[in-house]
Structure 1
Amino acid sequence: MATEPSPSLPPYPEMIMKALEALNEPAGSSRSAIVKHIEATYGELPPSHSTLLTSHLNKMKESGELVFAKNNYMKPDPNAPPKRGRGRPPKPKAPLPPGTVLSPPRPRGRPPKDPSAAPTPKTSTGSGRPRGRPKKAARTSPESGPVVSRGRGRPPKEKPAMPEVSVEQ
């Protein structure tokens, strides 16, 4: 996209500013009012005039040359305070005395392990007992006899014994 579509037309930012000055509306001028004024003043415009005008209006709005309020474009008030960015403003930094050398900032994350360092011995908690649940002791009693281990899961139901029925003929 070229800023100057033809040699007879001035640059788009200049045409927009002249249209705003000529319209001189207190609440600003709408895009359609700016388009009508430019078409009436400059007559023959390129076929891409609409997209060029929109892109230049957006650029001027983002750079602060124009203020966009209630669907109208206007020149910014010179007495208005500067627009703040989003979020909390940074704290003011105290000036450093001359000759101080700043160390590079620490890298993020956990530092890598040093392979040449000796391994550190594990320290006990001091209670004398090992960690975790104690092992289950095997139950052996002299009167019960040998210990029979069951299989995993629920044992099967015992089926009642069915008496045999004889059929006589």
Structure 2
Amino acid sequence: MTANHNASRVMIMAAIEDLNEKGGSSKAAISKQMESAYPDLPAAHATLLAHHLGKMKQSGQLAMVKNNYIRPDPDAPPKRGRGRPPKPKTPLPPGAVVSPPRPRGRPPKPRDPFAPPAPPKKKSSGGSGRPRGRPPKKAKTAPPAAATSAPAAAAAAPTGAPRGRGRPPKVKPAVAPVAG
């Protein structure tokens, strides 16, 4: 830690002691106390104060109770972290060899050393003689449709082109010109 960090922490502790509030001192109250005691603070005083208060809280120099910073009670037991504490490890006797941890996953089946080597496996599909999966689509081959006068018949006649997705568009009937 540099001298500036130590000086900031000393100023924060002095401000908390000067305020001497029973429930602790808020960040705003600490800031006002420091500004009145030290008029030549830098422009980034609020940011630096927040940084140092957070660091002091993490290191255990300050405790936080209801958004107020207080000096921790020296007789209080240390605060435990989240989660279940680890099991205590028993020390190994001297000269004991530590085995490597077991690998992950299921262990392989034991092999018979006197058995003949297995023949190489061929790709089988389960005995039915068919390949696995869905068979590929066959290409549609239809004879060319003769031209008809009915538009509905033309729309229903299969064409060689694949259909698009969704509902087909409406086909408007051809209107014959009226001779007059």
Common fold by TM > 0.5: yes
Determine the C-alpha separation between the residues in 2 that align with 1:25 and 1:54: 19
Q: 1:112 to 1:13 in 2, by over 3 A?
A: farther
How many pairs align?
A: 114
Determine the C-alpha separation between the residues in 2 that align with 1:76 and 1:102: 42
The match for 2:17 is: 21
Higher radius of gyration, 1 or 2: 1
How far residue 108 of structure 1 moved from its aligned partner, in angstroms, is: 2.6
- TM-score (normalizing by structure 1): 0.59
Structure 1 consecutive aligned stretches of length 4 or more whose deviation exceeds 2 Å: 2-5, 106-113, 117-121
Q: 1:98 to 1:24 in 2, by over 3 A?
A: same
Determine the C-alpha separation between the residues in 2 that align with 1:37 and 1:119: 85
The match for 2:95 is: 99
Matched, 1:74 2:106: no
* Percent identical: 62
Q: Note the aligned Cα RMSD (angstroms).
A: 2.9
How far residue 95 of structure 1 moved from its aligned partner, in angstroms, is: 2.0
Which residue, 61, 65, 89 being the options, matches 1:65?
61
Instruction: Give the unaligned 5+ runs of structure 2.
Output: 120-125, 127-180
Determine the C-alpha separation between the residues in 1 that align with 2:104 and 2:25: 51
- Which structure has the higher relative contact order (CA within 8 Å, separation 6+)? 1
The match for 1:38 is: 34
Determine the C-alpha separation between the residues in 2 that align with 1:120 and 1:76: 72
Determine the C-alpha separation between the residues in 1 that align with 2:117 and 2:85: 47
Which residue, 79, 85, 90 being the options, matches 1:83?
79
How far residue 93 of structure 1 moved from its aligned partner, in angstroms, is: 2.0
